[in-house]
Copies of this chain bind each other. A is one copy, B any other.
């Protein structure tokens, strides 16, 4: 029997992953067409990939310190001529020192590391967490991964034991979660975020989703929180995090905190689940000791933006050692995370310090990226405010805006005629008219009878923002 879509793994067939779906594929076709000079009658001359948080595909330059160190790690023979490196190529001495340190710990970036990552890098991550949170961190509980996606994959694989295993997932959510649960044939238990409160978590909503799932026979084991939010751009206040931890403690739920946007915060301050948990434990001796927390981070986002290097880590708190042993076994089957990506993790968590030769440039680059992101978020938010039928929460964090759009009935009919949801239809027309690729809200989940799209605010310039405004007006005029 040959393989067909009817006999292969039905869970792959069932899984959905819109971020790289039809729209993304079509946008790549346009890009290839333009690159070959075959743009022909396309009404645009470039494709703007606002569908995916891929900073270096767009404007964002890599941080010089990171890449200088990486270049030496790739070619340690550069150290045979340190003078030329420093005098002719402008490498500072702390670049050379860091590369030597990492090489002394890894041997070669071409060798497999230990399954959970290079021990010295796990120690660096622990020290970073201690500085960030003000509480101890244990290197043996840190697992280096190929981006946070791979960490999420490991954790969900471990937690999901049967089709009725339930995982509380925010809606809207980054579709990695629902896709992975579909692959695992486990149950996503959606809880709605509150758009009227800047996409914050609402405990009553979470509780009622939980109770309903339990009543349906679902064995709910875990709650996922994405903070700052993807696709929402929300940055949670400490109260929300406390409430989630209280609830998880009460109901014995594992807390999975996806904190990959922890440095992309424009309003207020990032509160890590780990720090808030430790505070709760201090304030209530004994009460929160049983909480199981897995928190994830990545080199792909923030001012680092090194997606292509596939680096990240997760930290476990409160897990049973035998469960940890099985997580170890699971990650060891894939051998190890990319070693140069592990090194980028080390550089991210341990950047040049004040007074060190590379500090000034590092800080300048970092601030430049941060301010650029904030400015573009604000510009885009302002543009949305001027568009008829569009409402958008204040940009607080991450790399995304997730506006609500109200579309005329006729547009919904035209969409149905194409077999599409109205938001898909809208995003497809946007791509065809402007070359701008965004992701329809249905790819992330949205409250019934609402429509959204997700756009990154990574693309440089403002012309494309104007093109969205213009398209939107024409679209409304056409289907009014």
**Which of A112-120, A258-266, A380-388 contacts the other chain?**
A112-120
A72 within 8 A of B: yes
Nearest-CB residue, chain B, relative to A7:
B161
Which B residues are CB-close (under 8 A) to A305? Answer: 110
Stretch at the interface among A144-152, A420-428, A444-452, A466-474: A144-152
Return A145 CB to nearest CB of chain B, in Å: 11
**Contact string, A233-258, partner B, CB cutoff 8 A, digits 1/0?**
00000000000000000001010000
Smallest Cβ distance from A343 to chain B, in angstroms? 10
Q: Are A62 and B333 in contact (CB under 8 A)?
A: no
Let me know if B75 and A322 touch, CB within 8 A.
Answer: no
Whether B153 contacts A334 by the Cβ 8 Å rule is yes
Which of B4, B90, B115 has a CB less than 8 Å from the CB of A323?
B4
A129 within 8 A of B: no
Instruction: Answer whether residue A412 sits at the interface, using C-beta atoms and an 8 A cutoff.
Output: no
Does residue A1 face the partner (Cβ distance < 8 Å to B)? yes
Partner of A107, one of B56, B111, B252, B320: B56
Q: Which residues of the partner chain B approach A110 to less than 8 Å between Cβ atoms?
A: 55-56, 62, 305-309
Q: Which of A40-48, A176-184, A366-374 contacts B (4 or more CB under 8 A)?
A: A176-184
Cα distance A161–B9 when bound, in Å? 4
Q: Is the CB of A183 within 8 A of B157?
A: yes
Contact A70 B74 (CB under 8 A): yes
The residue on B at minimum CB distance from A318 is: B2
The stretch that binds B, out of A10-18, A205-213, A434-442, is A10-18
Please, how many angstroms separate the alpha-carbon atoms of A290 and B326 in the complex?
Answer: 40
Task: Determine if B161 and A10 form an interchain contact, defined as CB atoms under 8 angstroms apart.
Answer: yes
Interface flags for A273-314 (1: CB within 8 Å of B; 0: not) read: 000000000000000001010000000100001111110000
A160 partner, pick from B9, B72, B107, beta carbons under 8 A? B9
- The reply to whether the CB of A395 lies closer than 8 angstroms to some CB of chain B is no
8 Å CB contact of A2 from B7, B292, B330: B292
A82 and B62 alpha carbons, distance in the complex (Å): 20
Within 8 A of B (CB), among A18-43: 19-21, 28, 32
Which residues on the B side are within 8 Å of A62 (C-beta)?
108, 110
Q: Is A332 an interface residue (CB 8 A)?
A: yes
Most-contacted residue by chain B among A52, A114, A330 (CB, 10 A) = A330
**Which B residues are CB-close (under 8 A) to A52?**
112
Q: How far is the CB of A78 from chain B (nearest CB, A)?
A: 6
Asked if B308 and A113 make an inter-chain contact with CB atoms under 8 angstroms apart, the answer reads: yes
- Closest B residue, CB atoms, query A5: B322
A308 touches B108 (CB 8 A): yes
| Extra A-B contacts (19), CB below 8 Å, given A19-B332, A74-B340 | A2-B292, A3-B254, A9-B157, A9-B326, A12-B330, A13-B326, A15-B329, A15-B333, A57-B108, A57-B112, A62-B108, A67-B75, A71-B72, A89-B89, A112-B300, A149-B335, A153-B334, A310-B310, A338-B340
Task: List, sorted by A's number, 5 A–B pairs whose CB atoms are closer than 8 Å.
Answer: A12-B157, A12-B326, A68-B77, A111-B308, A149-B333
> A-side interface residues toward B, CB under 8 Å?
1-5, 7-10, 12-13, 15, 17, 19-21, 28, 32, 52, 54-57, 62, 64, 67-68, 70-78, 81, 84-85, 88-90, 106-115, 119, 146-147, 149-150, 153, 157-161, 176, 179-180, 183, 219, 221, 252, 254, 290, 292, 300, 305-310, 319-320, 322-323, 325-326, 329-330, 332-341
